[in-house]
Amino acid sequence: MPAEFSLRANVINLFANSIAPGTIHVREGKIHAVELTDSAPPDPTLPYALPGFVDAHVHVESSLLVPAEFARLAVTHGTVATVSDPHEIGNVLGVAGVEYMLESGRSVPFKFCFGAPSCVPATPFETAGATITASDIEQLFQNPAIGYLAEMMNWPGVLHRDAEVMEKIALAQRYGRPVDGHAPGLRDEDARRYAEAGISTDHECFTAEEALDKLAVGMKILIREGSAARNFDALIDLLPEHFENMMFCSDDKHPDTLVLGHINQLVQRAVARGQNVLKVLRVACLNPVLHYTLPVGLLREGDAADFIVVDNLTDFLVRQTYLNGVLVAENGETRIPSVPCPVLNNFHARPVQPQDFELQAPNAAPTVRVIECFDGQLITARHDLPATVANGLVVPNVDQDVLKLTVVNRYAPAAPAVAFIQGFGLKFGALASSVGHDSHNITAVGCDDASLARAVNLVIEAQGGLAAVGLDGEEILLPLPVAGLMSDQPGYRVADAYAAVDALAKRLGSPLGAPFMTLSFMALLVIPSLKLSDKGLFDGEAFQFVDAVV
């Protein structure tokens, strides 16, 4: 049973938009009383108490940590809850994967709200490890821990009122669950039709104009700032007028950046830009709790004692994080112990050879369709470039940053799909990862076929992981034995291991802020314009396969 205690602080009331010195009394895990000094200004000698931060959309799997370990790190930054889409493990293991996440989340004092994945597999143009049907979703909704229908990425299906898509949305409405959206670039009439179908949020806006279109039709907009996709600067100036309908999220957060900060960083940046602190805290703390009906306390009498204490309202340095009246983090140190986690997987790839990645030149002067990736974005561009040919084969051109990209089916033996990409900047070697949204086949990029084969085989031998291969036998592997997505090791140890493999990727020449995160999205077919699945090169605008070499 949590201890009974009282705490003196400047208390932030996000319902009254007030800050006043007072005493918070906690008893049996709840806020027993909040005694405020009426009409008194904040006391500069006191810290500030406020509701905890909530990440309104995150794939915990992308931290490479199981939920229990994610929680251990997140609470040090004042995060008390997440709205978590287990879509990644769902694509690998189906409903069993969702249940794994629920079980891990229950093992620690943290408030995970998991959703029922709506799009598994994400498209019929790739090989996934499982399928989650409408019947499965209804089964998941029997569990009160499943709080919403996770992001509806099949926006064409929504617009065309596809029967299966609409059945899933109708199930969410029948069970009183909100429906999350995912509709990059949708504007005007399309945005209206998407919202009218029952979609309540979107976290994919990369321009203010797009966000305004969606706000105008009643959608809530999430300002995303993760390890790969970063839209804070594009959207934050909408907050003063639209703060009641906005939230903060990370979407995908690698362990090295989670060690450094979480939603607290977005709050700090927003306030530093001159945003009203109470409006910012409503976005960070209050709106997700209300929208998703989370069982998270908001510093009211009778609420669960979920709150944080910060030094000031400038840098938001977190002194303490409380969940149900229990001190779970203090002064940057987690108080949640590590718990053992079981390992389950779905991995059946066979080793590859360098010649498996060869592409024959179809004529004397072929053209290659080249994916261009961008730092901090999930979208890609397409370029048609003259191919580099050697000994009758189309080969990378490292000087022009035209490298080979491959996706290898990890669920069954199959020939690799091969294409070309710009933006990774590698000068030698290769990177490979079993984290490949959304089906999580093995995705790799490299300067030569031998390096590609070695990096891919390191991942296959480990039954999942991140691998970097350099010169003279230099190679680093971070094993991910849980579904090929997550480590079974303590979070801080994983963060250090990730930092090492990330550093090697950058020594190989990559200028990207998060090379492995960017690599993981090169197979994400639902975001245009050109991506690669295990079945081939896919044009996300025409929604069809195209040849890599013409």
Give 248-273 pLDDT, tens digit per residue.
999 999 999 999 999 999 999 999 99
pLDDT computed for residue 97 by the predictor = 98
Which residues are registered as beta bridge partners of 21? 10
pLDDT computed for residue 493 by the predictor = 97
Residue in the structure block whose two tokens are 């500069």: 44
Q: Which whole number is the average pLDDT over 500-518? A: 96
Q: Is the pLDDT of residue 113 over 90?
A: yes
Q: Is the pLDDT of residue 67 over 60?
A: yes
Report yes or no: 288 and 83 within 8 Å, Cβ to Cβ: yes
The phi and psi torsions of 491 (rounded to 5 degrees) equal -60, -45
pTM: 0.95
Which residues are registered as beta bridge partners of 405? 419, 445
pLDDT band (50, 70, 90) for residue 521 = very high
Determine the Cα–Cα distance for residues 254 and 53; give it in Å rounded to an integer.
18
Q: Is the pLDDT of residue 433 over 60?
A: yes
List, in sequence order, the alpha helices (H) in 382-486.
449-461
pLDDT band (50, 70, 90) for residue 1 = low
Report yes or no: 273 and 233 within 8 Å, Cβ to Cβ: no
Determine the Cα–Cα distance for residues 245 and 287; give it in Å rounded to an integer.
7
Containing H/E element for 378?
A: none
Determine the Cα–Cα distance for residues 333 and 72; give it in Å rounded to an integer.
9
pLDDT band (50, 70, 90) for residue 527 = confident
Half-sphere exposure of 397 (CA within 13 A, CB side): 13
Determine the Cα–Cα distance for residues 404 and 222; give it in Å rounded to an integer.
34
Walk across the sheet containing 5-13 and list its strands: 30-36, 18-27, 5-13, 48-51, 307-310, 318-323, 326-330, 333-334
Containing H/E element for 258?
A: helix 255-260
Whole-angstrom CA distances from 178 to 148, 150, 201, 294, 467 are 5, 9, 9, 12, 38
pLDDT computed for residue 333 by the predictor = 98
The letter for the amino acid at 535 is K
Determine the Cα–Cα distance for residues 289 and 297; give it in Å rounded to an integer.
9
CA-wise closest residue to 220 among 87, 85, 57: 57
Query: 41 exposed, middle or buried (CB, 10 Å; 0-12, 13-18, 19+)?
Result: exposed
pLDDT computed for residue 432 by the predictor = 98
Task: Give per-residue pLDDT as tens, 128-180.
Answer: 999 999 999 999 999 999 999 999 998 989 999 999 999 999 999 999 999 99
Q: Which whole number is the average pLDDT over 527-547? A: 93
Determine the Cα–Cα distance for residues 399 and 376; give it in Å rounded to an integer.
23
Report yes or no: 151 and 85 within 8 Å, Cβ to Cβ: yes
pLDDT computed for residue 306 by the predictor = 98
Determine the Cα–Cα distance for residues 283 and 243; give it in Å rounded to an integer.
6
Determine the Cα–Cα distance for residues 237 and 153; give it in Å rounded to an integer.
26
Strand ranges in 174-252 using DSSP code E only, listed in sequence order: 179-181, 201-202, 220-224, 246-249
Whole-angstrom CA distances from 540 to 379, 382, 472, 510, 528 are 10, 11, 38, 25, 4
pLDDT computed for residue 227 by the predictor = 76
Both tokens assigned to 296: 């998270």
Both tokens assigned to 136: 């499965």
Counts of helices then strands in the chain (DSSP H, E) = 17, 29
Task: Give per-residue pLDDT as tens, 387-417.
Answer: 999 999 999 999 999 999 999 999 999 999 9
68 versus 38: the higher-pLDDT residue is 68
- Strands 475-479 and 465-469 turn out to be antiparallel
Determine the Cα–Cα distance for residues 442 and 216; give it in Å rounded to an integer.
40
pLDDT computed for residue 2 by the predictor = 64
Which residues are registered as beta bridge partners of 42? none
pLDDT computed for residue 379 by the predictor = 87
Q: Is the pLDDT of residue 228 over 80?
A: no
Determine the Cα–Cα distance for residues 479 and 430; give it in Å rounded to an integer.
17
Both tokens assigned to 528: 């245009």
Q: Is the pLDDT of residue 542 over 90?
A: no
Residue in the structure block whose two tokens are 């059945």: 167
CA-wise closest residue to 248 among 316, 331, 163, 341: 316
CA-wise closest residue to 287 among 334, 251, 243: 243
Determine the Cα–Cα distance for residues 162 and 156; give it in Å rounded to an integer.
8
Q: Which domains does the chain have, with CATH numbers?
A: 52-294 (3.20.20.140), 354-545 (no CATH)
Mean residue pLDDT across the chain: 96
Query: What percentage of the chain has pLDDT greater than the value 90?
Result: 93
Determine the Cα–Cα distance for residues 206 and 24; give it in Å rounded to an integer.
40
End-to-end CA distance of the chain: 68
Both tokens assigned to 207: 């321009």
Q: Is the pLDDT of residue 45 over 80?
A: yes
